[in-house]
Each structure stands twice: as structure tokens, then as C-alpha cells.
Chain A
Amino acid sequence: MPVICICLSLCIGRYPLPLSDVLKILLSRFESFHISVTDIQYGVVWDIRLPRAVLGALVGGSLAVSGAAFQGLFKNPLVSSGILGVSAGAGFGATLAILLFHSLAAVYPFALGFGILAVMLSCMIGRVYQSTPSIMLVLGGVIVASVFSALISFAKFVADPYEQLPAIVFWLMGSLANVGYKEIQVAIIPILIGFAGLYGISWRINVLSMGDKEAHSLGINVRLSKAIVIICASLATAGAVSVSGIIGWIGLVIPHIGRMLVGNDNRILIPVSFSLGASFLILVDNLGRILTGSEIPLGILTAIIGGPFFVYLLKKTKGGGW
């Protein structure tokens, strides 16, 4: 499904191309085919649309997967990928980078670093009180997220209102505009590590959702398994958020759509969520590109489109059993 969406997104845009031309352009890269295309066509597909679509797939997929994993881990269907403060942390990192360096190049490492820092802080707060870690972790996440949100507001307050402030606001609303292969290089390593780890441990997430005590009595090293889930999900989210800005909603809703379609077994749910999240974000990004003359930030569209769609699904499937 994501592959179809990527192909579709290669055709759509200000410079529309039929699918046959897109295939030609894609193949023209390989010299043995001897296909000639114009430089503009080549540039539009290979340098602008393809990296954007691939990155969209990676970002959407990893947000959805980490949301699904956190929901299982915390036994709570209302949890999303930002629960441990990773989004707020990454947002602050990006804001700080824009403030200090006036350049986007510094944004990625800062966003990634602060996103992971935020999760580490949440976990440290969660460990203060030893016997019920899950609820304390969530509380830690809430605390860390609100502190970082306040810091973001402070940064906006002191930012130069003509250059830095628009850049910060635009970044926070989430966008895949102006991305290229460099951004893919930044994001792909944490995303792939995170996804591979979560896919590998997916059955243990099922068992962890029985609660700490039962999971322990069933023979699981609860602490180790939880740590792996948290690290992998946070890596994937931080990698995604650092290149795309904050895109809400996907990490909450896409896993639910997956649950309605294939059930709650994380062995199936995790890959399905990845593919659904990837497809959804590519489609939303396409809409954002073509709906109006200037691009609409993704964070706005995911919520506006996702909300009613989710309500429709809830009504149709009656919530899927819980």
C-alpha cells in the first residue's frame, strides 16, 4: 500500500505527470534502459517528489508504530507516540537550534538529541517511585512535555519576530516541504533501528500488556523488555519528528485503525500500523501540496482529516472490542 501511495504522490502536484511518464523517469536513472527525459521532469521526480514521499512514508510509519507499541506497553489505548515527551523535547531542540544558529542544518541533531533527552528525563522521574513504574512513567512524560512546551513558548517569546519566529512556528506545525535525501539519511537510521526492534519484540509487547506482575510471572524480564520498547519507540519517533516537525494524531489514531482492521496482536499490528501510517501521511502530504497555492502544514491536515475519519470508523466497527 505505501508503494502505491508513493507512486501516486510522484504524479500529483503543481507539475502533474501521468503514471507512465513517472515510470519512464524512474527507469531513466539506470543507463541500460536508454530512456531520455527532460531535466525538469527528472528533477521533479527524483529530487523533489521521491525523497519527500519516501520520507513521508518513514515518518508516518514510525509515528504509528511507536504509538502502537506505547499503547500496548502502557495498557492504555489513549496513549500516543509523544507520551514520554519526545515530541515536545524535539520541538524544543529544533526551536533552540533555530534561535542559536539561524540555520536548518542544526535543527536535526538538536531535535533528535533533545527528543531522546526528554524520554530519558521522563524515565528518571518514573524511577523515583519504584513500585508502579507505568503510571509514573506517564506522569514523568506529562511533566517533561509541559516543561519543554513552556520552554518552547519562552523561545518563541524571545525570538526575532520577522525571521526566527515564522521558522519556529512553521517547524512546530510539521512539514515535509523542502526535504531531500539528506533528511532521509538523518532519519532512516533511528527509524529503522526502532522499527526493527519493535517488530522483533512485538509478541513480548502482547505479554507486557497483561501488566507488570503477570508478565513477570509468565517469565518475562519486565524491566529489560520495557526498556527495549521505550528505547526503540523513542528512537523511531525522535528520528521522524526531527526531520518533519511535530505531526500529531498519527501516533494515536493510526494504531487504532490498525486494531479495528487486524486486531490487537502486536505481531501483526506493528507492521500494519507502519504501512497504514506511511500511506496516510503520504496522502495527507499530497493533499497539503495540491489543495491551496501555498502548502498547508501537515500537523493541521492530519487532525482535520483524521478526526472525522476516526469517528466514522469508530461508529462502523463499534470500537473493536474494548
Chain B
Amino acid sequence: MVSPLLSVEQVGFSYGHQQILSDISFSVDKGEVFCLLGPNGCGKTTLLDCILGFQRLKSGSIIVSGKSISEITPGNLARLISYIPQSHERTFPYTVLEIVMMGRAAYTGLFSAPNRMDRRISESALDTVGISHLKTRPYTRLSGGEGQLVMIARALAQNAPLVIMDEPTAHLDFKNELTVLETIARLVQDKGISVIMATHFPNHSFFFENNDIPINVAMLKDTRFIETGPPAKVLHEDKIETLYGIQADIIKYTNGTDRARKQVIPIRTVV
């Protein structure tokens, strides 16, 4: 049996006495999307931080490519896992290419800088995402959607099999949200990368399911996973009510095409 790319085993985490995560277990295979749902402040970001090795676990273990992340150096971990932040705090006006080349940090020495090959890899990452025309623009002047595509290109330049995204479509408009989702879907299908994604929108998981991408969903509430599995199994009206405290309808429609699509429609809050 082939072991999964990432497996999270009985992970627990707390800030002081406040328990944030307890007994979290799941695994992600190559070419698979894992969608993390849950209300604000439920610990999604903390769980992602643990997988990134940015927070130390209180219990349990996280294994990536057969090795526990606590035994991997930051440089080697970055070759396995890349990260796309929610909204990026932009300070200095580096050009887009300079930002993407930072994705090569894990491949450069402590006192050196990216070389010509790193530059080529970064340029082809921009090309793959379809934003080569932004190459020389200062990224502080980009729109939110363009900025997020730059982050995806940077993760691509990092060349890691697993990408972690923390609400990658937050603050984006309709089209940009869809552009980001389509780009992610394309990378999963074409490059076989795996994605762990925290999101506030259950419809994002339906988007991947509707596009035939292998996807699992986890619902995180009160420090625990209350449900994990494919959207068809997990995303039901009653479970959405437990998770968010809202009444929602899940509708299935074909709209004249020969494929069924699914959407969650929020109706009203439940006290």
C-alpha cells in the first residue's frame, strides 16, 4: 500500500490552557484537494500553521512524504509544502518576478541569491498561471486578484507537491474568485499537486467536485472534526446547520446541460 503524501495523526494543540485542536486526523493523497470548513475562529488557520511547522504540536504527529515534520528543517519542509496566505501584507514594492523568485528560497544557500535557473523556473511559473505580463510591475500596485495569482505562481516556483491555502479567495470579487479557483483546479489536474484549503464557502468544495477533482471536506467545530469525507457524503443540510448554525438548502441542477451541479444556498440563521 502506498502511504499518503500527508497524514495528520491525532493532532492536538492549545494556547496555554485554551484547547484549539483535539484529536485531528486525516490524510491527503497526491492530486487531491482537502477542504477545511468551519466558523470564524474555529482553529482552521492554527491547523494549517501546525502543518506548515510554524506551530509546535502539543500531541500527535504530522507525517509528510514518510517523515515527521518535526524532524524536517525549514528548508527541506518548504520543498514539500508551499503556502498561499489569506491576504498578503505588502510592505516594500518588489516587482512581481522578485516576489515569485522568493519561492526559490528553499533552493538557495544562506548567503546566496537565486541564480539564472531559479529565474527561469519563476518565469515559467508566471507563465503557467498566465500572468507573465505582470512580471515587472511592483506588486504593491496589483489588485487583490492579481496579487493572489502572484502568490500561486510563487508557490508553483517553490515546486512542492503540497500547497496550503488559507482562504485564498477572501476579499476577491466574483470573477477573481473564479479565476483563482480555476487556476487551482488546473494545477491539481495538470501537475498533480495536492491542495489543503481553508475556506468559508462550502460551494468551493462543490466547485471542485463539479469539475471531477478528487476532494474531501472536513468540518472543524469546537476543536474537533465533526465530519470528514467527500462533499456528497458530508455536505448535507443538517450538517451545515450543526457547523454554522444556519438553515441552508442544497440544490442540484442541470440547467440544460448533461451534468448535475450542486450549490449550497444559505437561507436563515438558526438560534
- Residues of A that sit less than 8 Å from B by CB: 72, 75-77, 200-204, 206-207, 209-211, 213-222, 224-225, 228, 259, 263-265, 267, 320-322
Q: Check A203–B106 contact: CB distance below 8 A.
A: no
* In-complex Cβ contact of A264 among B73, B77, B81, B93 (8 A): B93
- Is the CB of B91 closer than 8 A to any CB of chain A? yes
Contact assessment for A216 and B89 in the assembled complex, using a CB-CB cutoff below 8 Å:
no
Does B147 count as interface, using CB distance less than 8 angstroms? no
Interface residues on B, range: 35 or more
The SS class assigned to the A binding surface is helix
| Alpha-carbon gap, A218 to B81, bound state (A) | 9
Given contacts A218-B158, A267-B113, contact A75 B78 (CB under 8 A): no
* Sample (28) of A-B pairs whose CB atoms are under 8 Å apart: A75-B89, A75-B92, A200-B111, A203-B108, A206-B102, A207-B105, A209-B91, A211-B89, A213-B49, A213-B52, A213-B54, A214-B85, A215-B105, A218-B83, A218-B158, A219-B76, A219-B79, A219-B106, A219-B158, A220-B74, A220-B105, A220-B106, A263-B93, A264-B92, A264-B94, A265-B98, A321-B138, A322-B140
Beyond contacts A207-B105, A218-B82, A264-B93: 17 other A-B pairs, Cβ-Cβ < 8 A, are A72-B92, A201-B110, A201-B111, A204-B110, A206-B94, A209-B91, A214-B88, A215-B105, A216-B74, A217-B78, A217-B81, A218-B102, A219-B78, A219-B158, A220-B74, A321-B138, A322-B91
8 Å CB contact of B73 from A211, A214, A221, A265: A221
Q: How far is the CA of A206 from the CA of B106 in the complex (A)?
A: 14
**CB within 8 Å for A218 and B105 given contacts A206-B94, A206-B98, A267-B113:** yes
For window 34-59 of B, CB contacts with A under 8 Å fall at 49, 52-54
Cross-chain pair count, CB within 8 angstroms: 97
Q: Which residues of A contact B236 (CB under 8 A)?
A: none
Which residues of B lie under 8 Å from residue A320 when comparing CB positions?
93
Chain A CB within 8 A of B114 CB: yes
Q: Which of B65-124 contact A (CB under 8 A)?
A: 73-79, 81-83, 85, 88-89, 91-94, 98, 102-103, 105-108, 110-114
Provide the residues of chain B in CB contact with A200, threshold 8 Å. 110-111
Within 8 A of A (CB), among B186-227: none
Chain A CB within 8 A of B141 CB: yes
Complex contacts, A75 vs chain B, CB 8 Å: 89, 91-92
* A217 with B82: CB separation less than 8 A: yes
Interface centre among B102, B112, B138 (most CB of A within 10 A): B102
Most B CB contacts (10 A, CB to CB) among A215, A219, A224 go to A219
B contact residues around A72 at 8 Å (CB): 92
Of all chain A residues, the one with the shortest Cβ separation from B90 is A322
Judge whether A225 and B91 touch: CB under 8 Å.
no
Nearest neighbor of A201 in chain B, beta-carbon distance: B111
Known: A207-B105, A265-B94, A322-B140. A216 touches B111 (CB 8 A): no
Pick from B74, B85, B140: contact of A219, CB under 8 Å: B74
Kindly list chain A residues whose C-beta atoms are within 8 Å of the C-beta of B77: 219
Q: Shortest Cβ distance from B111 into chain A, in angstroms?
A: 4
B102 nearest CB neighbor, chain A only? A207
Docked Cα-Cα span, A248 to B251, in Å, equals 66
Taken together as a complex, chains A and B put the C-alpha atoms of A200 and B76 apart, in Å, by 21
In the assembled complex, the Cα of A207 lies from the Cα of B83 at a distance in Å of 14
- Of all chain B residues, the one with the shortest Cβ separation from A223 is B74
Shortest C-beta distance, B95 to chain A (Å), equals 8
Q: Closest residue of chain B to A221, judged by CB?
A: B74
Which residues of chain A are within 8 angstroms of B54 by Cβ–Cβ distance?
Answer: 213, 216-217
CB distance from B134 to the nearest CB of A (A): 15
Q: How far does the Cβ of A220 sit from chain B's closest Cβ, in whole Å?
A: 5
A203 and B82 in contact (CB under 8 A), knowing A211-B89, A321-B138? Answer: no
